[in-house]
Structure 1
Amino acid sequence: MTIKVVRGNPTPEELAAALAVVRARAAAAAAQPSGAEPPRAAWSAPARLVLRTLPQPGLHSWARAHWPA
């Protein structure tokens, strides 16, 4: 693995920290099975939509449209 500093003058400690992050990400990606899907963010999970209910029609329902119950 080759890392090239394009701009700036990082200290050896900064380079070591950046390299540790890059190596950790590479190790995590290598440990994942080849056919596995990447982890999905919690906010985009379809199961989360089941928990929410849509506002019901009625008096002042427009005011409840943006506020969770």
Structure 2
Amino acid sequence: MIKVVRGNPTPEELAAALAVVRARAAAASVVPSGAPTPRDSWSDPSRIAAHRLPPPGPASWSRTYWPGS
């Protein structure tokens, strides 16, 4: 059930919103629930160790998060 909480949408706006919701629901139902989801690269711990740390020195603090800088 979808409920309009604020505003007064036109029938066209409401139809567009419902079309998006139905398309998302249809896309979600296509993916099998037992299939593993691809791992997001942001949460991959190996990305932290992908680059060597900068050599120690006076400006090394400014390069700790920007490898190659």
Structure 1 partner of 2:62: 63
Which consecutive segments of 4 or more residues in structure 1 shift more than 4 A?
A: none
- Give me the identity figure in percent: 68
SS of equivalent to 2:58: coil
Report the counterpart of residue 4 of structure 1 in structure 2.
3
- In structure 1, the gaps of 5 or more residues are none
Q: Which segment drifts farther, 24-33 or 53-62?
A: 53-62
Answer yes or no: is 1:51 the counterpart of 2:54: no
The TM-score normalised by the length of structure 2 is: 0.66
- Which structure would you say has the larger RCO, counting Cα contacts within 8 Å and 6 or more residues apart? 2
More deviation in 56-65 or 3-12?
A: 56-65
Question: SS of the counterpart of 1:18?
Answer: helix
Equivalent position of 1:25 in the other structure: 24
Q: Letter of the 2:19 partner, please give it.
A: A
- Residues 1:60 and 1:39: Cα distance change in structure 2 (over 3 Å): same
**How many angstroms apart in 2 are the aligned matches of 1:27 and 1:39?**
20
Equivalent pairs, count: 68
Q: 1:9: Cα distance to partner?
A: 0.5
CA RMSD in angstroms, aligned pairs only: 2.3
